Structure 1
Amino acid sequence: MVKECMEALADTLFEGKEGQQLKQKVRQIPLSSTTTTRRAELLSEDVQSQLDSAIQSAPCIALAADESTDVSDNAQLLVYVRFYNEETKTFVEDILGVTALKTHTRGEDIYLAIKEMLTQRRIDVKNAVSITTDGAPSMMGREKGAVSRLKEDNPELLSYHCIIHMSVLCSTLLEHHAEVMNTITKLVNFLRASSAHQHRLLREFLSEVDAPANDLLLHSNVRWLSKGKVLARFWKIRNEMKDFLAQQKSHKAEVFLHFLEEESNMDILAFLVDIKGHLNDLNLKLQGKDNSVCDLVAAVQYFQRKLYILKMDLEQDCTHFPSMKEIQAVSHSDFFPHTDYLPWNPATLAACSR
């Protein structure tokens, strides 16, 4: 704004070449940090004002709330909104707001945070027809849950369990599979996070042996798809990991090396790499904007049908399990026990076709 005023002043006071030269010099003046910040704030306020105006004119809205913890252990509540924009004649999905839960993350705290957010944006809670959550007790508690409190303000409010969180709950690992997954996580943490010096040695070793990857990935419960990516990266350089651990002179390294040398553990690891890859494919299809309920249900039903193919494939040539096929070519392992992990039965397939 300041530059525009100065250029207009130059046009008024000077004419011809002098005016053009002065305007050119004005354009070269760098903006101060406060000016840049203020400009960003004005743009943000304008975008929020347009969003608020569209929400307030919408016939109804749907909310989605999720509480998570960031890398600095601060609890954050994120609320998303979906509504029909009367002006553009389209459905709109956008973030309504982010607020910090400074002390507790109880249902009462989440309820008050959502209410305050709606009040500040001048949105009537009775205009919300539904809310989707992760199904946690603080959200869905019968008496003190955030959704129960919101239903006291709006008895017609519908509540849903996020379909992605439901798919994660359904992919719980069996005892031996969970043990292998936990051990691999501990091994990755041991190599990457226990010592900065050891991490540098690991990267240098992988570079020297020309490994398929130059580092390991850390697992995070906050990030979606993390387990699958961690396992896939580890699988690529599993042989190099054995060589690196063999060079380490510590009891932990010996324990992890013995674990990797066990053929049964590698069979389970190969299965986890492949099945987590299939689950990640499903997870990605359930994410993103502009997905209707029909699209999400269709993706889940397709995956349920796919379980039949995967289960039959495990009993034959492992076409859809490339990591297991790689192991099978060397050790001729029997992967039939892994079929118990796939919860498919004829009733499931019949339910999918209805």
Structure 2
Amino acid sequence: MTDIAQLMVFVSYYDGTKKEYMQDLLGMTALERRTREEGIYEALKSMKESRNIEMKSIISLTTDRAPAMLGRERGLVGRLLKDNPDLITYHCIIHQAVLCASLGDEYCKVMETIMKLVNFLRSTSALQHPLLQDFLSENNAIYTDLLVHNNIRWLSKGRVLERFWLIRKELSGFLKGRNNVKAVAFSAFLRDDEKMEIVGFLTDMMSHLNDLNVKLQGEKHTIFDLITAIRAFQKKLEIFKHDIQSQLVHFLRLLEQSKGKNDSGTRYVQFVEKLITNFAVRFDYFSLGKQLLLFIENPFLVTDITEFSVEAKDTCKWVDAAKVQLELVNSRRT
């Protein structure tokens, strides 16, 4: 733990020797100063120069669109566009999916309470954490420890919730034997059926989002694979919206906690509807025609050449419009 930020740069390129597209780690370097635009730009420039990579050889750049990345004049994207005006920039599709799942105020409070509870049990004292592990082991709990949430790791929240849910009863038993003020408050939280119902819903929903996150990761995925995964999840959200108002087939933890009450899922419909809206807003501009997607998957699947030509022209227009839109957004931020 050095408190020094590390910049990692990954590249996707065509290997002329192997005759295939490759993905690899270009490099990792420490950002000795603050993680500001200049430091990131200089680190990337150093990596590029040490490997004899010309700026004009870089076709596109994918970032999380943080302010340090986007600034028109001083941001990383702005600086690189000055070096290569033809550079095309993208917002990471995985990061966009994560942003769609932002929690509302009520759910944020519950999530924060769980994080505080985890930190209390693991970090309050050097003695308490081992006692917790021994208690869970003696009571034959499924897991003998809790996970710590990390905002940077996108799968972390769902995994923390899943682990917490599976040993929540044992945690309640452990806290009963504590006279600490915080322990009493956390014990009351674990006995609150309404709060635990929210935890059950969040655990189910984060599990579904994690499944999508995993599908968007990995090597050699084309835009066809990514868009297919996103579109499939959007269809699932419509199913979830109906299911959460009826049988809770896809929300088993919520069903377990609510004990099959008829109206148990209706209070969460708004959250699912917000997810549907967020995904539509962020991913509708990714819309590619059917023939064009087929061409990306396998050119021999394209049957309507006329339709394909129209879609290809429209996509070129979209790329040009996206570059103009990026400049406008950067201008507003600046």
Contact 1:132/1:160 (8 A) holds in 2: yes
Match of 1:277 among 201, 207, 216: 207
Task: Report how far residue 72 of structure 1 moved.
Answer: 3.1
Contact 2:245/2:263 (8 A) holds in 1: no
Does 1:168 find its partner at 2:89? no
Unmatched tracts of structure 2, length 5 or more:
290-334
Alpha-carbon distance in structure 2 between the residues aligned to 1:264 and 1:353: 43
Does 1:210 find its partner at 2:135? no
Does 1:128 find its partner at 2:50? no
Contact 1:81/1:94 (8 A) holds in 2: yes
Task: Report how far residue 348 of structure 1 moved.
Answer: 4.8
Cα deviations by residue, 1:253-275 (Å, 9 ceiling, x for unpaired): 01111111111101100000000
Does 1:242 find its partner at 2:191? no
Contact 2:193/2:257 (8 A) holds in 1: no
Contact 1:327/1:333 (8 A) holds in 2: no
Residue 267 of structure 1 corresponds to 197
Q: Secondary structure at the match of 2:56?
A: helix
Alpha-carbon distance in structure 1 between the residues aligned to 2:3 and 2:216: 27
Contact 2:141/2:170 (8 A) holds in 1: yes
Residue type of the partner of 1:145?
A: G
Cα deviations by residue, 1:141-170 (Å, 9 ceiling, x for unpaired): 122101110100100001101011111111
Query: Over alpha carbons, which structure has the higher Rg?
Result: 1
Contact 1:267/1:333 (8 A) holds in 2: no
Contact 1:216/1:230 (8 A) holds in 2: yes
Does 1:322 find its partner at 2:236? no
Correspondences of 1:221-260 after superposition (within 5 Å): 221-260=151-190
Contact 1:107/1:139 (8 A) holds in 2: yes
Specify whether residues 174 and 159 from structure 1 end up closer, same or farther in structure 2 by C-alpha distance, changes over 3 A only.
Answer: same
- Normalized against structure 2, the TM-score is what? 0.81
Correspondences of 1:88-127 after superposition (within 5 Å): 88-127=18-57
Residue type of the partner of 1:86?
A: G
Contact 1:314/1:336 (8 A) holds in 2: yes
Unmatched tracts of structure 1, length 5 or more:
1-70
Q: Secondary structure at the match of 2:59?
A: strand
Task: Report how far residue 222 of structure 1 moved.
Answer: 2.6
Correspondences of 1:324-339 after superposition (within 5 Å): 324-329=254-259, 334-339=264-269
Task: Report how far residue 223 of structure 1 moved.
Answer: 2.2
Correspondences of 1:271-310 after superposition (within 5 Å): 271-310=201-240
Stretch deviating more after TM superposition (147-156 or 333-342): 333-342
Match of 2:84 among 154, 157, 174: 154
Residue 304 of structure 2 corresponds to none
Contact 2:4/2:30 (8 A) holds in 1: yes
Alpha-carbon distance in structure 1 between the residues aligned to 2:5 and 2:247: 47
Residue type of the partner of 1:96?
A: L
Contact 1:274/1:324 (8 A) holds in 2: yes
